[in-house]
Each structure stands twice: as C-alpha cells, then as structure tokens.
Amino acid sequence: MPHSVLILDDDADFNSLLTDIFEQADYVVTSLEDPIEAVDVFVENEYDLVVTDYKMPEMTGAEFMKEVKLLRPEVPVIMVSGFLENDTIRDLISEGVGGVFLKPLNIFSLLERTAELIAEAQKANAPVDEVGDEESLEDEGSALKFGFSFRSFPCKSVESSEFAERLHRLRNFKSTISLIGPEGTHYRLICEDIRGFYEGEQEQFIYLSPASLDAAEVMRLIDAAKKSGAERLTCVMLELDRMSDEQKQMAVSLARCEGDFESVDMVVRVIFCVSGDLDNLYDAGLIDENLYILMGTAEVHVPSLHQ
C-alpha cells in the first residue's frame, strides 16, 4: 500500500513542484497551502510523513510541526525553506524535525530521507515480535554468507558482495574513507551497516549535511558522545559536493582535528559521501585540493542498485 504524505506550502508553484516529486515517487499526496486547514486535515486523516515550508504568513513551519507532534508524535516531519539561519536549523533539529532541506532542493536526497524516516517510524511502531522476526531473517541471511550483518544491499551479485566484504575489512579505518556512488545512493543506510559492524556504546556515528554542518553543533555532538561513554566517533559527511566552501573546509578541519576542532580529545573519523568521480568533482571545482587529497586515500566505490 502506498505511503501517504501531507504537503504544506503557501507558495502555489513550489507546492505543485513538491506534489509532483512525491506523486512521481508513488506516494499518495495531500497538498495544502493554508496551515490552519492543514491542521484540521491532519486531525481527520492518517499520514506517514509531513512536508512543510518554514516561512508562512499565518503559522511558521515550526509552529505547525508542534501541532503535528502534539496530535501524533510518531509522524516524521521534513522542513523546506529558501533560507534558514544555522541557529534556526539547530532549533528545528532539537525540536524533532526529521530533515531540513533548503531550496533549490536535491530531489534524490529528499526522497531518500523520506523513505528513511517512514521506515524508521514504522519500525519504531511495529509490534516487537514482528520487528524481531524480520530483522532476524535479514541478519541470518547475510550472517550466514559473510559472518556479519549487511542490509543496505541484497548482496546477490559479485559486485555487491565484494562491496560488503571490503567495507567490513575497512571497518577499523583510522582517519577517513570515501564512499563514491551513483546519484540516489542510500549512503545513510550503508553507514548504518558500517556502524553495525561494532558492538557497544563505545562506537558512535553522527550524520552531517549542508543543513546541519556547523562548528558549534558538531562540537556539541562530540561533547554529547563523549559524555555518553563513546571512545570513538565517526562523522558521516552527506552531500559533501553540495556544501558551502566554508563547510568543506570545516570537513577537512574535522578530519584533521585542527582549527575549530583542535581541542577535541577523542578519536574522530570521517566518512565522506559523494556522487560522482573524484577527478570530475575536482575539475568542476566542487572539491578543493585538500579534500581531493583526503578523499583519495581510501576510496570505496558503491555499486549501482542493479548490481
């Protein structure tokens, strides 16, 4: 059964664009321009996900999200906007937003995050026995084949099997690795598999994107990980090629524990995630020489889904 999405944006043109994006991805869409009406519609109907604009005349997206969370806290919310200050983005994340996307949208990332949020919500709300049975079957299949669990790829081909095995061999990498794949690659799911190679709270992963990479926020996450007992932190850089020049430099500084991060006193590793060949990205000016050198030290090419 198709999943249902409620879209709220007072801009008719952008509302129509969002509707087309989700309908073409086989979601059942309800699109509205009035936040007051959207609250009433949300009360009367069941939705798997909400996508809302941030800046609207009668109610902000943050205020609308609070209404949604009061009614059904399990329903994930994605926020879209033309521009948001870093402080606002941090506040939205702390208040429970599942994703923040700035215009112009990266459609692949938007749909990828949508699928992840819906899957996470369904898993969290599923009966314990049902979740346990499904996970045990998935784990048993990959564990019998490799000796470890791997879910992001079916691993029925030589290419995907070799990919899983190489990631497992590299699981204790010291500094950086680069995941390089085709457009639409589910990097977060792959990194969840990598995280699954370890046991215990000593290993923690955080995910950073153009909407969330900020020095103060990263330091807060590092401090939180350290207080929770983590001995090693892996920072996953999603959509690296879409980051600002300042954010790319920040990614380099984080990998080297210098600049804003020179006071970090725990082991920090970085996984860079990009779509496209490194040489082409460098020639196009999407990564600079520092990133090119860092990312080229351990490249892992992600197979396409048909492989």
Residue 8 clears pLDDT 90, i.e. is over it: yes
Residues 100-132: pLDDT tens digits?
888 888 888 888 889 888 988 887 766 545 545
pLDDT digits (tens, 9 = 90+) for 257-282: 999 999 998 999 999 999 888 888 88
Tokens at 8, concatenated: 């709220």
pLDDT (0 to 100) of residue 306: 55
Looking at 3.40.50.300, 3.30.413.10, 3.40.50.720, 3.40.718.10, the CATH number of the domain 154-301 comes to: 3.40.50.300
Q: Give residue for tokens 């860079």.
A: 272
- The answer to whether 236 and 187 have CB atoms below 8 angstroms apart is yes
Q: Tell me what pLDDT residue 127 has.
A: 59
Mean pLDDT value across residues 134-144: 48
Mean pLDDT over 58-66 rounds to 93
The per-residue pLDDT for range 159-213, each reduced to its tens digit, is: 888 888 888 888 888 889 999 988 878 888 888 888 888 866 688 888 898 888 8
Segment 129-155 mean pLDDT: 57
Q: Which of 26-35, 241-250, 294-303 is the most confident on average?
A: 26-35
- Does residue 86 have a pLDDT over 90? no
Sign of CA dihedral 220, 248, 112, 139: negative
H-only helix segments in 29-106: 35-44, 61-71, 86-94
List, edge to edge, every strand of the sheet that includes 203-208: 203-208, 232-237, 267-275, 176-181, 299-301
pLDDT tens, position by position, 147-163: 677 777 766 678 888 88
Q: Where are the domains of the chain?
A: 4-125, 154-301
Question: pLDDT tens across 219-237, in order?
Answer: 988 888 888 888 889 999 9
Convert 40-67 to b/e letters by CB count within 10 Å (16 or more is b).
eebeeeebbbbbbbbebeebbbbebbee
Q: Name the β-bridge partners of 235.
A: 206, 270
* pLDDT given at position 137: 46
pLDDT for the residue numbered 143: 46
Helices within 72-196 (DSSP H only): 86-94, 107-125, 128-146, 158-169, 187-196
Query: Do 4-125 and 154-301 come out as alike in CATH topology?
Result: yes
Question: What is the per-residue pLDDT for 131?
Answer: 47
Average pLDDT over residues 3-9: 97
Architecture of the CATH domain 4-125: 3-Layer(aba) Sandwich (3.40)
**Contacts of 222 by beta carbon, 8 Å cutoff, 6+ apart:** 233, 261, 264, 266, 268
pTM given for the model? 0.56
**pLDDT for res 144:** 43
